[in-house]
Amino acid sequence: MSRYLRIGGGVGLSLAAAWSVDHFVFCDATMRTLRTAKAGALVALDYKLNFVPGSFDAVHKHAADVILDTCKKNNGLYIKFAQQIATFSAILPPQWHEFRTLYDQAPSVSYAKVVEVIKQELGSHPDELFDSFEQVPIASASIAQVHRARVKGTGELVAVKVQKPEVKVQVEMDLFAFRVVVSVLERLFDLPMSWTVKTIEHHLRQELDFVRECRNAEKAAECIQQVPSLAASVHVPKVYWNLTTSRVMTAEWIDGVNFGHVETVEKTWSQDKIAGMMTVLVDLFSDQIFRTGFVHCDPHPGNILLRPHPLNPSNPQIVLLDHGLYIQSSEQFTQDYTRLWTSLFSHDISTVEEIVKRWGINDTQMFAMGTLQKPWSKRSGVSSTMTDVFDSTYGRPLSSDPEIRKKEMYEMQMKMKERAKKYLADTDRVPRELIFVGRNLNIIRSNNKVYGSPVNRINLMCDWAVKSQNARDAPLQPPSFATKFKNLVTHPSTTLLPALYMSATLFVVSIAFHATRWWNTVRAWWRWVLRKDELSGKKKRVGFEEVMEESLRRGVYEQTGVLLDENAFEA
């Protein structure tokens, strides 16, 4: 008996020692990895044993819940991982769409740990560097938290972003776990996903370097200053370099309203002012995508503030925050992406197909629809979505018979899976910029949508693409009027017709946009007459972005027979 007690005691002490080392030295990195391994094993077994007709939804739901719960428990970089998994939501089953609701929020660390990090990085206690330093953070995310402070001597109000101490220790094992999770998902769904991992890892590592974030902020500000209309309406907080290191960042404090606080914004500014603000926001990111190639990849509402413009308080000014995640697109990609957009609207099919095929993408139509986030076909080009302004029903409804319905849902999922597998012909050739530019586009669309689509995003972005392409194509010596006229007469198919087609397309899309706004006005008036809002307790807005989503769902259904989940396009 004593022998077994000694063995048991030894095992217990070993486990306790291992736990202590992992907890106090490695900040639970091993435990988090084991938790992830357990989740992966459970999900794999569930799909292997229980994925049979009639149980698809339940298995998908259980798997998504297990992975999501693991990300929440592990916190830290796992919140970022969950957000990256969400970028695959368009091809994953609807049950996995819940990953998009996971905001980058986390419990804060103690003030003592904050002091420790600041002393390590800046060499002094916060009391020696600041006149005041609020011990309770005003925000806490997965890798850092923000404290408000006043600079010593000047009294300037600043935001001090402090990296959480455990992140530095956990990062390598967390990234390894991320690779494993994506690999498991790829095998389970038999879909190409792991080709994105190296790029995502690279940029996640960059997010941990606050010096790089500060450089990104200053470069973004420089790019904004190059465009007068943006310089007057967009502000990037100033960096305090003497109080900044790779783990501590100090920047100008800005009082403003979070972009996501829609009710507060709408009470502060009129609809015309909000539409003007949204135009600037779309212009800002269009300029990044089509001109500079230096793109903010996480412009969600939490990273945008609105404040009364210092020179004209009746107008809102946009304050752009959190510059940790940027990409610098290659000049070749920026040119190709700009040409792609203009060609989609001018119906230059050969150019569209040439670019898409060169990028290793096998499905031109699906890629075009995903890029524009509206229907597009080789035959008719960009759809106006006019039919969807007044009609959002389409397609053959699923059977009411439970057994037949299960079979139909299975067939749809298999069709979508096969289409997704064929979509990427050669992942080695796919520009990695597409991962983050696509994310930016989806968030721009979502930002416009949340305010009821006050601007025609599609036309605004196309205008920027045209201006950027014209600026690149313009020769040093502009052609004379005679030369332009000669080219117009001798080569109408390459000069006149594309321009006319693009103008006609944008005109029709513009009509659809204004028709949507007019129809919403009529419906809002009718609801007010009937007091429907008061009865339901809700105020539902259906703007042009929703109309385009419905139109895109219709297009996908008509092309593939797959009826996408109504939340498939949420950011």
Residues assigned a catalytic role = 298
| C-alpha pair distances (Å), 14 with each of 4, 7, 38, 412 | 15, 10, 21, 52
What single-letter amino acid sits at 342?
A: T
What are the phi and psi torsion angles at 145 (to 5°)? -135, 160
Q: Count other Cβ atoms within 10 Å, centred on residue 320.
A: 21
Amino acid found at 169: V
Burial 239-248 (b: 16+ CB within 10 A, else e): bbeebbbebb
For residue 320, list its beta bridge partners: 304
Q: What are phi and psi of 146, to 5 degrees?
A: -120, 130
d(CA 346, CA 368): 13
Return d(Cα 54, Cα 40) in angstroms, integer. 23
Q: Which residues pair with 326 in a beta bridge?
A: 296
CB of 251 closer than 8 Å to CB of 201: no
Transcribe 12-69 into DSSP letters: HHHHHHHHHIIIIISTTHHHHHHHHHHHHHHHHHHHHHH-STT-HHHHHHHHHHHHHH
Token pair in block for residue 307: 């404040």
Supply the Cα-derived Rg of the chain in whole angstroms. 26
Burial group, residue 476, by CB count within 10 angstroms (0-12, 13-18, 19+):
exposed
Give, to the nearest 10 degrees, the angle between helix 457-473 and helix 271-287: 40
Among 343, 163, 131, CA closest to 248:
163
The contacts found for 46-54 with CB under 8 angstroms, 24 or more apart, are 47/188, 53/406, 53/407, 53/410, 54/406
Q: What is the DSSP letter of 371?
A: H
Both tokens assigned to 301: 């509402």
> Which 3 state secondary structure label does DSSP give 485?
helix
Characterize 199-232 residue by residue with b for buried, 16 or more Cβ atoms within 10 angstroms of its Cβ, and e for exposed.
bbbebbeebbbbebbbebbebbbebbeebeebee
* Ranges assigned E (strand) in 156-270: 157-163, 234-235, 248-252, 257-258
Match 């969400």 to its residue by tokens: 86
Q: Which helix (H) or strand (E) holds 130?
A: strand 130-133
Q: Enter the tokens of residue 80.
A: 């970022």
509 in Cβ contact with 382 (< 8 Å): yes
